[in-house]
Structure 1
Amino acid sequence: MCTNGSADCHSNITGLTDVFRVCMYSFIFVVGLVFNVLALVFFCCQTKSRSQTIVYMTNLAVADVLLTLTLPMRIYYHLGYPVHRQWLCEVLGLVLKANMYGSIFLLTCICFDRCMAVSFPMSSRVQAGRKKAPLVCLAIWMLTFGASLPIYLFQRKTRNIIPQDCFDSLPVFATKPLVVIPTLFVGFGIPLVIMLICSWGLARAVRQSSVAQTNLVDSRKIQRMIATSLFIFLLSFLPYHATLGLLSVYAENTPYPMQAAYRYSLVLACLNSVLDPIAYYFTTDTFRNKLNISAFWGMFPLNSQSSDVNNRSRMLSS
């Protein structure tokens, strides 16, 4: 309990918040980087069976890797070390936000692609559209960075932030309603509606399929996959965008609890880079079946001889 006034209370709360963010950002950086790099290695090796979903997942893993690479500087800052180059804070913030919204759009594309593949499997027009996945990914990269760059250039001209507030100051898109409303609508509202509709359509198509009535397809498993993807999306991004909406109401006079809520929700949004690879594993049969420990260790020269022996023993026993 604080006894020396509100300033000491504020300092204690800030200190606890910094410890929490250091721990969480460190966890996200280490686990997210390792998991996504492993996912990229796997996806890049799938040259023979590179489906449209694999294209989207590859770009999603790249976005998650870039996001995690911005976290060490945040960890450094929250440990109490000042960052004296404001442009570095702004560039890292730009990269983080652009890749966060890139992840949102790519997750939406994955959900939409699965829905189209299941609902219209025999449509040549749908199949031709699905083959444009690389162009869609290129458009997403151009949209996320192209839309974020003008906002940060505007922030540099209109705001004078001291180095001590590098990652603690609220960004311009969190305090200007003119920027917040399009961000909420385009960056979260439309993707959320698309994911809800596609998830409902995918679940409905699976239930009505004659194949789903047999033992060839586990419809419950597919429904769990849909629910898992939707849950991860809402858990990661709903609190952050709900906080953005509230911040736009307060504008410049933002109370400290709202600022703290924004920072916690940002941590939760960054946690998506850890949850995405877990979703790859549990919702993608190809990923789960082919990514195994023996294949991982077989990449190292020390295990090449043992793998050769195992392969020969399988040939002899067959």
Structure 2
Amino acid sequence: MSQEILILGLNPAWQRLFFLDKFTPGEVHRIGKIEEYASGKGINCGLVLHLLGGTPLLMHFLGSEHGPKIFDEISAYGIQQAPVWIKEPTRICTTIVSEGNSTELIEPSPILSEIENDDFLQTINDYWSSTQRVALCGTFPQGFNIEQLNALDFAGKKIYVDAIEGIDSWLEKGVELLKINIKEYCKLLSRLGIPQVMSSPQFWKMTATAVLERLPIKALVVTDEDAPVRAFRLVEKKFQGVQLLPPTVQVNNRIGAGDSFFAGWLYADTMGLDFEQCLIKATAVASARCEVERPCNIKVERVAELEAAIVDAVEKLE
């Protein structure tokens, strides 16, 4: 079976990264350093997966001005792409990095036309039948016809999701992994009508069990920056939960840490690693990402060092 992963990162961005010694809202700042590069959840995931040794096929909508630059940059890394070219410009994400903190300013996504939706369907049909693994990353552009995506035949495919909006049909079909952050998890609980008593010591077990009993999700992972990463599953209808506190690292830039975690889990899963090993690998990758300015700067050797440091730190949740 092919280990190639079709990454649907349908809402990419052109990243502008401003580095400041100190950022104070309302004041004039002179920027000491600027970087610009291709970004967005799908691109970040694909880049990191490629660095780890995986084989991503990145599908995304690319618009005028920055679209060609994104395509050329990703091609230069040796990553295969299936672009859908659109009329409106790709959005720009401006990030201010100061003292280890990041402030993001994200433009509205482009609005797709009916013809561009038809182009998407034709393009994805060229790859869908030969793809066994599909990863959905992030939001959809405005005007995206999600119904035509939901109507595809999911039989025999392993589906991984790092998103919260427009994913209900995917979750109902069954996914290998749903990776979301704590805010997105609370939003999911609200949608499912599951009570959120976060002060309860049984909060995680009760809510995760309820989600897993309602939806055919094999692994549910919730991230929360420096707090423990928590992963849940049902094995023979019995709850299993584990948590892992990320290692302490010198934070350079957190943007894309969740995308890097997702890439780490995807890679670990394709390598046949077990549930806890996937969590360890993914956490190490996300931590390594925080240490560097850009996802493409992650060093595989550093990931291995962090894995070794946290391999015995996994805790079971009762």
Tell me whether the two structures share a fold, i.e. TM-score over 0.5: no
Higher strand share: 2
Higher helix share: 1
Larger Rg: 1
**Normalised TM-score (structure 1):** 0.26
**Normalised TM-score (structure 2):** 0.26
